[in-house]
Amino acid sequence: MKHLMNKDDREIKQRKIGRDKLTIDEYKKRMADNKYVDHAIQKIATDLSHFLTR
């Protein structure tokens, strides 16, 4: 269980200040695109599967 506490790039990293932030409208446009949602779900599933098998 000790190795589960290691960060190994699984933690959210701080980003540079001043980076363009997406507005709520831009997120709504992305969420309306089924390809984007499928890609996001696949990425989450892959990351979770990788995390659970480590």
Tens-digit pLDDT profile for residues 4-54: 555 565 566 666 655 567 788 888 888 899 999 999 999 999 999 988 887
Q: What pLDDT score was predicted for residue 36?
A: 92
Q: What pLDDT score was predicted for residue 7?
A: 58
**What's the pTM value of the predicted model, to 2 decimals?**
0.51
Please count the CA atoms within 13 angstroms of the CA of 27 that sit on its side-chain side: 4
- Rounded-to-10 torsion of CA 26, 29, 30, 33: -170
Q: What pLDDT score was predicted for residue 47?
A: 92
**Domains in the chain: boundaries:** 21-54
Q: How many other CB atoms are there within 10 angstroms of residue 30's CB atom?
A: 13
Residue partners of 54: CB distance under 8 A and separation at least 6: 3, 4
